[in-house]
């Protein structure tokens, strides 16, 4: 005699195990996709130049971010700053923290003049620990 499919319906109980599995799956999904990101004091409107030869460096909170946007405006730690003020800041940094790590962020359309001006100021102040930030699909 064929067994009626719903005959033992009363015996069917919802198992918690698959639900727990699902919760864990969701948790793993969020763990994988969520990124605890440090505030990089970035200039948001910068369109970083693409580079395939860039290297991934571990994030470092002590790095000093200097940015030059497409208009040639200069930013220090995400805050707009004039070249005169920047020169003063660099002078102080070179006296107190000569090994300061510096990250130079530029837009792909940043004019070369202001970029060289900033680089020259860094070089003259003997701040040699300078890196240029670029965009790489693999690391971003």
Partner 1 sequence: MNPYLQRPLLIAFGVAALLSTAFGFLLYVNEDLRRSTFALIVEEETEDGEKVRKIKIERPEPNKEQVREIARNREKQKRKELERKAKEIREVLIEIERAAEIRKRELDSETAWSRLAQMAFRLERLTQDLHPVLTRQRQFRETPALKEDAARIRTLAKRNADSMRKLGSEDLALEGALAQLSDTEELAAQTTTMRSILSELYEGFSSNEQRRAAYGINLAEKVDTTAAEYLAELSRLIYQDPALADAGEGLTDKSVEDARDLGESLASTEEESAPPFESSAPSEEALESMATGELYQSIQEMTQAVDEAFTENRAAELAEVEKIPLEAARDQIYRPQTDTGPDLAEKLDGEAPSNLEEYNAFNETLDQAAQAAEQMARTAESRRDQVAGTQGEAAENTRTAEEMRQALQDRAALRGQMAMAADNRGRVKGNVQDMRAMMAQAYQGGGSQNTPQGMGGEIRTTNTFSQSSKKTPEKVRLDLDKVLDNAIPSRRLDQTSERQGWIFLDTWYVIGPWNRPKGVTFADKFPPETLVDIDATYTGKKDAQLRWRFVQTENIRINPPDEAGDAIYYAYTEVFSERQREVVVAVASDDLAKVWINDLVVWQDSGFSGWRVDEGFRRILLKPGYNEVLVRLESGPGVCHFSVLMCPVDALM
- Please give the full DSSP string across 57-124, using - where no structure is assigned: ----TTPEEEEE-TT--EEETTEEE-HHHHHHHHHHHHHH-TT--EEEEE-TT--HHHHHHHHHHHHH
Quick check: 14 binds partner 1 (CB under 8 A)? yes
Q: In a 10 Å sphere around its CB, with 0-12 CB exposed, 13-18 middle and 19+ buried, how is residue 2 labelled?
A: exposed
Q: Does 87 bind partner 1 (CB under 8 A)?
A: yes
When binding is defined by CB under 8 A, the residue of 51, 116, 128, 139 that contacts partner 1 is: 116
Least Å from the CB of residue 18 to partner 1: 4
Quote the CA–CA distance of 34 and 75 in Å, as a whole number: 29
Tokens of 15: 């198992």
47 binds partner 1 (CB under 8 A): no
- 70, 73, 101, 117: which one contacts partner 1 (CB under 8 A)? 117
Of the pair 124, 139, the CB lying nearest partner 1 is at 124
Q: CB 131 → partner 1: shortest distance, Å?
A: 21
- Site of interaction with partner 1 (CB under 8 A): 5, 12, 14-15, 18-19, 21-22, 25-26, 29, 33-34, 36-39, 61, 79, 82-85, 87-88, 91, 113, 116-117, 120, 124, 126
């Amino acid at each position: 005699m064929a067994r009626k499919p719903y005959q033992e319906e009363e015996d069917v109980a919802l198992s918690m195990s698959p639900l727990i599995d699902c919760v864990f799956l969701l948790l793993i999904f969020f763990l994988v996709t969520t990124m605890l990101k440090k505030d990089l004091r970035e200039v948001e409107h910068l369109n970083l130049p693409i580079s395939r030869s860039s290297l991934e460096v571990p994030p470092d909170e002590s790095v000093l971010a200097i940015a030059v946007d497409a208009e040639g405006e200069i930013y220090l730690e995400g805050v707009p700053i004039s070249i005169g003020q920047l020169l003063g800041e660099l002078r102080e940094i070179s006296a107190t923290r000569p090994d300061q790590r510096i990250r130079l962020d530029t837009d792909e359309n940043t004019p070369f003049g202001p970029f060289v001006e900033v680089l020259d100021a860094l070089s003259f102040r003997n701040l040699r620990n300078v890196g240029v930030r670029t965009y790489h699909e693999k690391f971003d």
